[in-house]
Structure 1
Amino acid sequence: MDEFVDQTKTLVGALGWDVFREMRGRAPQLTPTEESMPQPEPSESPKFFFRGEGYSAEMVVGPSGDFIVQAGSKARLRTTSTIPRGTTTLRSTLVEKGVLREDGKFLLFTSNYSFSSVSAAAAAVIGASANGRILWKLPNGSSYADWEAGPSEVGATGPPK
């Protein structure tokens, strides 16, 4: 039964529907003094980078396996015509909650934000469908998928088991 549920979630997600996705991220209610304080690193995960024209973001993997885009990251302001409806809704919600704020040619992450998947984090940044497993990179150029595969693939410590 678990295998059926996993396959269903994969299929539905591939169709661009996120009906099974749990919204774990939230906009913190910060006081003005907290906003100016640096936010601590949520885990010992290495920093992953996702950069291109109109965006520049950093992400770490949280202790519970969530994908945390770091405050100060810049998301692309414009979106593609083929952006999944769920990603459009998520970005709109993040703007309404103040997690994303328009800042010139970018949308700026005003606080760390936790995503349930590495691809959802990439899609929110780029404003389009995205495979976060190959798009998020370590400074040495290896992908999140390489890092997840373990130290033999990248020469670095992989995710906690």
Structure 2
Amino acid sequence: MTQGRSIRLFLVDGTPNGLLTAEIMNWTGHVLTGPRSKLSELVQRSECGRTGIYFLVGPDPENSLRPLVYIGESDDVGTRLKQHNRPEEKGGKDFWEKVCLVTSKDQNLTKAHVKYLESLLIQSAGQVGRCKLVNGTAHEYINLPESDRADMAFFMEQIRTVLPVLGFDFLRDRPMPSSEPVAQEAPAEASPRFSLELPRHGIRATGQEIDGEFYVFKGSQARGSWVGTERGYQSLYNQLCEDGMLVEGSNGTRVFNEDQSFSSPSAAAAVVSGRSANGRISWKAESSGMTYGEWQDRQVSEAAMCAESMSNGMDGDRR
């Protein structure tokens, strides 16, 4: 069973869009993040004078699905951020809109530590594939004692835990969906395998909900072109085609070239259907025939009944 974690967030200036700090219980790391518009305030903080790792994040004008990310390290993060704030022609970077820096509360991070961390983080971000790295190829840095490498592996895992809480998903692991049917002994709360069919167009897609995302499996079919109104998920459909996630198939259809995650079953259903679609009724469980909405409602009802039963049991014990 996965253990819960305590993360302490602090709004430095009392506003949700200002500077924010984050710490995890029993971790020496300290995270500071904020918009570029608050850079003048951010660089005045003591954290910026320490050795650390930083992330510059901004939108990719050529791909709305993934952000642009630059991962760097420095002995003096504040000075480095000032350099990045210059115009492109003067050696700066124009793309970023948010910055996030990670330092150590006990100030035990050394230059060697952060160079090693930078190498690991660039490699990890590239493997996860949730962003486009501005860095390019990661330089492998292994000039670190074995014990320190173990410490930095733990430090990195904490970074991967806290960043998604702050809205930075580019290091969050992608679950590896199985294209095989869900095993019979799977726990009741596990998502079944769903399918969506458009018989008139010879289209069939399969998928599953995993860790809050809806995955459409590799090999699933989709409409050969967007036929709905020019809004909604049309840009998502076009982007997947441009990225090579949806490739040309037979009989005028398209095929998913690999497992693809979506933020909701409706987004997945729209891309498969080539038009707006209600994923709660379009996706049906292969094992029971229930729609996604019916399956989800049953999960909620069963959870509520279980909670009520436990509550009644506790009341009985008190009596």
Task: Identify whether the pair has TM-score above 0.5, normalized to the shorter chain.
Answer: yes
How many angstroms does 1:84 deviate by? 4.4
Q: Report the Cα offset of residue 23 of structure 1.
A: 4.2
Q: Residues 40, 119 of structure 1: CA spacing in aligned structure 2 closer, same or farther, 3 A cutoff?
A: closer
> What pairs up with 1:12-161 in 2 under 5 angstroms?
23=65, 40-41=177-178, 44-52=190-198, 53-54=200-201, 55-63=203-211, 65-80=212-227, 82-104=228-250, 105-139=252-286, 140-150=288-298
* Distance change in 2, residues 1:152/1:96 (3 Å): closer
In 1, distance between residues paired with 2:283 and 2:217?
Answer: 13
Q: Note the C-alpha offset of 1:136.
A: 0.2
The alignment's TM-score, normalised by the length of structure 2, stands at: 0.34
The share of aligned pairs that are identical, in percent, is 36
Q: How many residues align?
A: 122
Alpha-carbon distance in structure 1 between the residues aligned to 2:221 and 2:230:
20
SS of 1:85 mapped into structure 2: coil
The offset of 1:118, in angstroms, is: 0.9
Is contact 2:247-2:255 (8 Å) kept? Answer: yes
Q: What is the distance in 2 between the residues matched to 1:40 and 1:125? A: 18
Equivalents in 1 of 2:256, 2:262: separation in Å?
13
CA RMSD of the aligned region, Å? 3.1
> Unaligned stretches of 5+ in structure 2?
1-63, 67-127, 131-175, 183-189, 304-319
Work out whether residues 118 and 132 of structure 1, in 8 Å CA contact, stay in contact via their aligned partners in 2. Answer: yes
CA contact under 8 A between 2:226 and 2:237: conserved in structure 1? no
Cα gap change, 1:78/1:97 in structure 2, threshold over 3 Å: closer, same or farther?
closer
Q: Which runs of 4+ in 1 moved over 4 A?
A: 22-27
* CA drift at 1:124: 0.3
> Could you tell me how far 1:113 is from its partner in structure 2?
0.4
CA contact (8 A) 2:196 2:284 kept: yes
- Bigger relative contact order (CA 8 A; separation at least 6): 1
Please list every run of 5 or more consecutive structure 1 residues that lacks an aligned counterpart in the other structure. Answer: 1-21, 28-38
